[in-house]
Amino acid sequence: MGGTGFIGREIALAVAQAGHPVTVFHRGHTLGDLPATVDRVLGDRRHLSQHADQLRAAEPRVVIDVIAYTESDAVTCVDVFGGVAERLVVISSQDVYRAYERFLGVGNGTLEAVPYTEEAALRDHLYPYRDRVTGGNSWITDYDKILVERAAMSDERLATTVLRLPMVYGPGDRQQRLAPYVHRMSDERDAIPLEAGHADWRWTRGYVTNVAQAVALVCGDDRAAGRVYNVGESDALSEAEWVTAVGRAAGWSGRVVPIERSQWPAERQLPYDWSQDLVADTTRLRDELGYTEQIDRDEALRRTVEWQRDQDRHADPSEEYGAEDRCLEG
């Protein structure tokens, strides 16, 4: 389900490379560069039941739902494949943890312990982005991976695995999360300033190909049925360490400079509580299924930086350089 986008395409490739026949279901807007052996069923998942016969005819043993964002997405998926497939693998997110809402500034401000295992407390509040969208029509309004996981786990006919993903980086990242840093490095900035709290803040990340390998591993191992796994690199770099690693991959010789919040431009302060790290414990996936990353971080970043440099500059950061220089001098 959704096997042609940033993460989904890599999953389809990894599963196909493991020797399994693959069918992807998508609308046909994002083609993905997939081998001719991968079959496609075209359709909109908002009307999934209309495509049920075609999807069931593919006789999937494992269904990988990459794009279940709402409870209703998961319910329809279970309805279509329950009693047809043996297993369901659902791509979830580490935003299910209570630590995430603390990071968003929700709650009483008590920090959650990290690293969080799969047994850690989940958010106390549903729909984490509902208050952050305007207009009310976006799917983001009903987005909640807690409800997705619950619905996906609810059907006894399907043995479900939940994979909680970290921040995923790599070529094809539609959010282009490395862009602000890579642009500054390409512009040969001597220093990249970060708000001090942000510089120290730790976040679990994962390279897209390694994440896809984890999904393929889970699909091929029935011990994963009924289990929940965190996915991500075993060490969570601080943002300053991360930018330094990106710099190494980019051949940049500048410095990352933490700037006290009081000196940081007000218009660039982000609404996050940087004292809440978002660090996942990924031991379960490694110990139970023998998962290890195939591509190390330096190589992963080298590939990502190379791709990022080929992208159009959607947001030119140069107009921020004057304010940054004043911070750095101050």
Q: Which residues of this protein are in contact with ligand NAP, per CB under 6 A?
A: 2-8, 26-30, 44-46, 66-67, 91, 93, 165, 167-168, 174
Give 167's strand partners: 205
By the 8 A CB rule, do 10 and 165 touch? no
Nearer to ligand NAP, 58 or 327 (CB): 58
Nearer to ligand NAP, 179 or 259 (CB): 179
Which residue number is nearest to ligand NAP in terms of Cβ? Answer: 5
Distance CA 97, CA 197 (A): 21
CB of 255 to ligand NAP, least distance (A): 27
Pick 72 or 186: Cβ nearer ligand NAP: 72
Beta carbons of 143 and 129 less than 8 angstroms apart: yes
Single out the residue of 2, 37, 32 nearest to residue 18, CA to CA. 37
What's the sign of the alpha-carbon dihedral 41, 42, 48, 54? negative
d(CA 152, CA 24): 19
CB-based contact 308:176 (threshold 8 Å): yes
Helix (H, G, I), strand (E, B) or coil at 2: coil
Q: How far is the CB of 7 from ligand NAP (least distance, A)?
A: 4
Query: Measured from the CB atom, is 30 or 72 closer to ligand NAP?
Result: 30
Name which of 17 and 263 has its Cβ closer to ligand NAP.
17
Compute the distance between CA of residue 130 and CA of residue 275 in angstroms, rounded to an integer.
Answer: 23
